[in-house]
Amino acid sequence: MLKSAFRAVLIFTALAVSTTAFAGASTFQNSCSNITFAYVNNQAAVQAVCLKADGTANSSTLVITGISNQQGKLVQGSGASTFQSSCGNIQITANASGVTLSALCRNSSGASGQTSLPLSGIGNNNGNLSY
């Protein structure tokens, strides 16, 4: 009986972990095209043309939140994104499995290096990009 209960707890824990990891993945790339990086009032944003429920296309822009440059590496946090003030050559790439933000970012000594970070939790809500 104890072995059976332990197995049930392990299975439940594994399901919870895998569901949590999957829930954070961006899905908008599966129904949007022309996905690019953009500036909106000096804020970093993702721009795309997304399909609405009725099949028509809608141009949409979403300000990217919570990303900073920590010693030349893109890091996900909270609040407004600040990476764009110390990074250049900023690009967004997308495929069926995910979306990646890439940039050339400076560290405190002034050296620049290539870095990337998955963009998580962005969806297409009836033609509009949303978190």
So what's the pLDDT on residue 24? 80
The per-residue pLDDT for range 96-121, each reduced to its tens digit, is 889 999 999 999 999 999 999 999 99
Give the number of domains in the chain.
1
The CATH number of residue 88's host domain is: 2.30.60.10
Q: What is the pTM of this model?
A: 0.79
Domain of residue 49 covers 25-130
The per-residue pLDDT for range 59-100, each reduced to its tens digit, is 999 999 999 999 999 999 999 999 999 999 999 999 988 999
In a domain, 5, yes or no: no
In a domain, 1, yes or no: no
In a domain, 18, yes or no: no
Distance CA 27, CA 11 (A): 26
In a domain, 53, yes or no: yes
Q: Is the dihedral of CA 42, 45, 47, 51 positive or negative?
A: negative
